[in-house]
Amino acid sequence: MVKRTTTEKGYVGEAYTMAKLIRDFNIVSVKVPQEYFHYDLITSNNKRLEIKTALLTKTKKVYKGKPSYSYGWHWRRTPREQQQFSSDLFMVYIGFPLGEEKADFRKEPRCFIIPSEKLRGRSETVRITANPSVRRRTGKNELSDAFENKWNLIAEG
């Protein structure tokens, strides 16, 4: 399997998002050399999309001498991205699973489409666990439960 750079992983996430939305929208990439935009794509209905791609990670915690493992994705937002709260900006978090040893981009990722205003007041790191048992036990990850595969949010409004 090929080891990919962070930039290449980002392009994979953007391409996946475009493929999901191309049926309903004209998609425009806003990547311009030497220019900064706090979003990656814009749809024909003027929704701005910031695409974040992550790989599944395994976190080990030890409690009373016993290890427990948590699987999830971590995305980091820049200070500029944290300040952008508007009704037409969506954070699209793409979480690819792991294959035998490395990321397997051939498998279907988990997608979380979150309006930027829902992230107001949160830390710069967005974490979503992949363990359903952890979500039930802790009551955390309202983001995954409320926004997983909510592509329709982009079409609304």
In whole angstroms, give the CA distance from residue 56 to residue 102: 9
Contact 52, 128 (CB under 8 A): no
Q: Identify the structural domains of the chain with CATH numbers, from first to last.
A: 6-155 (3.40.1350.10)
**Residues counted in the chain:** 157
Q: pLDDT per residue over 8-66, tens digit each?
A: 778 888 888 888 888 878 877 766 656 666 678 888 888 888 888 888 888 888 888 98
Q: What global pTM score does this model have?
A: 0.75
Contact 73, 93 (CB under 8 A): yes
Q: pLDDT per residue over 102-130, tens digit each?
A: 666 777 888 888 888 888 777 778 888 77
Task: Give the distance between the most distant pair of CA atoms in the chain.
Answer: 54
Give residue 118's region: left, alpha or beta (phi > 0; psi -120 to 50): alpha
